[in-house]
Amino acid sequence: MENIGHWLHTDGQPDPRSSCSPEALWAKRFAVGRREELSTFSWWFSSGCFEETWSIDNYLAALQTLDAGHLFPTALRTEGG
């Protein structure tokens, strides 16, 4: 997943004629929920290759699934988060 993110940064938009869209691949991998894959979505998000709403929704979903609390000091976390 990280390699695809790097590729998106260098080669830009995927070919729309491809048999599997990156969005469909992400949906399948997100459903599996492997932390090491979810944590690489920042590469996809920052590539600028996807519709903004899709990118933001999936980035937030990945962060929530990963329990983003490990990314921020405890003092910055909100109660219950």
What pLDDT does 53 receive? 94
pLDDT bracket for residue 70 (50, 70, 90): low
Lowest mean pLDDT among 29-33, 42-46, 61-65, 73-77: 73-77
Mean pLDDT across the chain: 75
Of residues 35 and 27, more confidence is placed in 27
Choose among 48, 46, 2: nearest CA to 26. 2
H runs (alpha helix) in 1-81: 2-11, 22-32, 35-38, 41-45, 52-65
The pTM score is 0.64
Mean pLDDT, range 44-66, rounded to an integer:
87
